[in-house]
């Protein structure tokens, strides 16, 4: 006789009976729960279904053919079980769960990021209202997806996620507030050249625009203020920022950059930003590394006359200035492990020195005295030495002449060179003259 034979048929039958009874009990328990759920939520389901005459939610859920019984659309009961290995309950119950979870706002549209999306994939009027956009301004859902992608794949963010062993940096991104803050800044810049109601821009329009803009009023990390949430999120707040200076020429842009460097990087907000509002940038807005913000521009096509829409210019702005990164908002939240890590790092951080350009222009800060003190402490020695030797500043990558100048300066320091009071005064006066001249030409 085989060792696998079963001699005690009565015991075997008992085991089968018990197993069958257990299974039926489990199924009946699920059905009881389903009936209780449907009864409890009947009024809510009827409210949703009445707004959905074509039963869109039900057909989107499972399109099941399982039989169900309903009575007066208020008392639901389960009369048959599905063959699903995961849900031994009716499709009516599953449809109802789907309806309650996903279809409570507007059954005629899809949703994304908490807002409606139309049949072509553009965000609905509720999003435009929350983001402060004109009613006819069209933002495609794919753009918001791209913002999320860029935010999660930023190199610093990626390194942090890898270090902490987490898959997501953000648990939520406030897309409406992000678009709102960027759009207000974009509209401010565009309004310096065109009427606010202009919606299409020819190549001639774009080529006529300034080469750059200076921004003030940006809030960001401030480690002198432990309550500053941006010390943890590492995001920026543009809600009170504005254009303070317009650089019409490349020479003005270069002078602003030079003054920033030669003042010891003390002037916060003097650097110019193109905002992506150049023809070359607009034409290449979809190009970039995989992790970068590369919006799909097929959803913002050129007009028949070859002009560009306002939306297309905004995409270029987002890529150039915001890099698709979220802005500070209480609704933008971090992974708890990331937040704990950033909070610990904030306690070990400190601020660098910088003065807002607007505070210099309004006289709130005596920048000449501040700059002189900075020079007396030795922070501007290389700049003063370059002035004495007639070496011109070139750009941020070369500085005053690269390795050659560094060798000359370091050798002079080793031989006892030190900036004299006369040289310091001359240098500070030169910077202030150039700064006042630039601000006089470019101030809004």
Q: How confident is the model at residue 184 (pLDDT cuts 50, 70, 90)?
A: very high
In angstroms, what CA-CA distances link 260 with 4, 87, 105, 356?
Answer: 87, 65, 51, 12
Please give the model's pTM, rounded to 2 decimal places: 0.70
pLDDT value at 88 more than 50: no
Q: What is the mean pLDDT of residues 171-199?
A: 96
Query: Would you call 65 exposed, middle or buried from its count of C-beta atoms within 10 A (0-12, 13-18, 19+)?
Result: exposed
The 8-class DSSP code of residue 321 comes to I
Specify the 3-state DSSP secondary structure of 32: helix
Which range of 32-36, 352-356, 359-363 scores highest in mean pLDDT? It is 359-363
Q: What digits encode the pLDDT tens for the residues 368-415? A: 999 999 999 999 999 999 999 998 877 767 778 888 898 999 999 999
Q: What CA–CA distance (Å, rounded) separates 175 from 113?
A: 7
Residue partners of 342: CB distance under 8 A and separation at least 6: 231, 232, 233, 234, 334
Q: What is the pLDDT of residue 33?
A: 52
Report residue 205: phi and psi, to 5°. -60, -50
| Angle formed at CA 400 by CA 394 and CA 406, multiple of 5 degrees | 155
pLDDT value at 74 more than 60: no
Within 10 angstroms of residue 428's Cβ, the number of other Cβ atoms is 23
Q: What is the mean pLDDT of residues 291-307?
A: 96
Q: Which two tokens stand for residue 249?
A: 């020429």
Q: How confident is the model at residue 51 (pLDDT cuts 50, 70, 90)?
A: very low
- Secondary structure element (H or E) that encloses residue 200, with its range: strand 200-201
Q: What CA–CA distance (Å, rounded) separates 216 from 131?
A: 22
Residue partners of 14: CB distance under 8 A and separation at least 6: none
Q: How confident is the model at residue 226 (pLDDT cuts 50, 70, 90)?
A: confident
In angstroms, what CA-CA distances link 188 with 151, 179, 181?
Answer: 25, 14, 11
Dihedral of alpha carbons 421, 423, 424, 429, sign: positive
């Amino acid at each position: 006789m085989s060792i696998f034979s079963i001699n005690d048929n009565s015991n075997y039958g008992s085991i089968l009976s018990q197993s069958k009874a257990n299974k039926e009990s489990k199924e009946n328990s699920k059905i009881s729960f389903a009936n209780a759920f449907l009864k409890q939520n009947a009024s809510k389901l009827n409210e949703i279904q009445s707004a959905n005459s074509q039963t869109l939610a039900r057909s989107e859920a499972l399109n099941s053919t399982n039989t169900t019984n309903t009575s007066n659309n208020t008392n639901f009961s389960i009369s048959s079980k599905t063959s699903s290995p995961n849900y031994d309950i009716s499709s009516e119950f599953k449809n109802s769960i789907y309806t309650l979870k996903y279809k409570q706002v507007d059954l005629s549209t899809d949703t994304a990021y908490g807002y409606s999306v139309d049949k072509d994939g553009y965000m609905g009027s509720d999003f435009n209202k929350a983001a402060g956009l004109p009613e006819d301004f069209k933002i495609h859902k794919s753009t918001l997806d791209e913002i999320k992608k860029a935010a999660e794949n930023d190199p610093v963010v990626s390194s942090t996620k890898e270090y902490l062993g987490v898959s997501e940096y953000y648990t939520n991104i406030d897309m409406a507030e992000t678009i709102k803050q960027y759009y207000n800044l974009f509209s401010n810049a565009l309004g310096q050249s065109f009427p606010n109601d202009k919606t299409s821009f020819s190549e001639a329009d774009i080529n006529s625009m300034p080469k750059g803009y200076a921004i003030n009023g940006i809030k960001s990390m401030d480690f002198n203020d432990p309550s500053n949430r941006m010390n943890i999120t590492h995001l920026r707040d543009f809600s009170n920022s504005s254009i303070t200076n317009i650089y019409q020429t490349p020479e003005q842009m270069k002078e602003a950059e030079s003054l920033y460097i030669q003042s010891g990087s003390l002037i916060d907000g003097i650097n110019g930003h193109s905002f992506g509002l150049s023809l070359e940038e607009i034409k290449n807005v979809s190009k970039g590394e995989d992790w970068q913000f590369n919006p799909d521009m097929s959803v913002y096509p050129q007009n028949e006359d070859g002009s560009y829409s306002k939306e297309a210019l905004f995409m270029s702005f987002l890529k150039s200035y915001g890099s698709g990164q979220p802005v500070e908002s209480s609704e933008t939240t971090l992974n708890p492990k990331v937040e704990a890590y950033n909070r610990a790092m904030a306690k070990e951080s400190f601020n660098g020195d910088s003065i807002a350009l607007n505070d210099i222009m309004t006289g709130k800060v005596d920048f000449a005295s501040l700059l002189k003190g900075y020079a007396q402490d030795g922070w501007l020695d290389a700049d003063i030495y370059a002035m004495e030797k007639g070496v011109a500043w070139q750009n941020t990558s070369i500085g005053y002449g690269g390795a050659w100048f560094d060798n000359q300066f370091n050798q002079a320091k080793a031989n006892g060179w030190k900036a004299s009071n006369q040289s310091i005064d001359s240098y500070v006066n030169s910077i202030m003259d150039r700064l006042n001249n630039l601000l006089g030409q470019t101030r809004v």
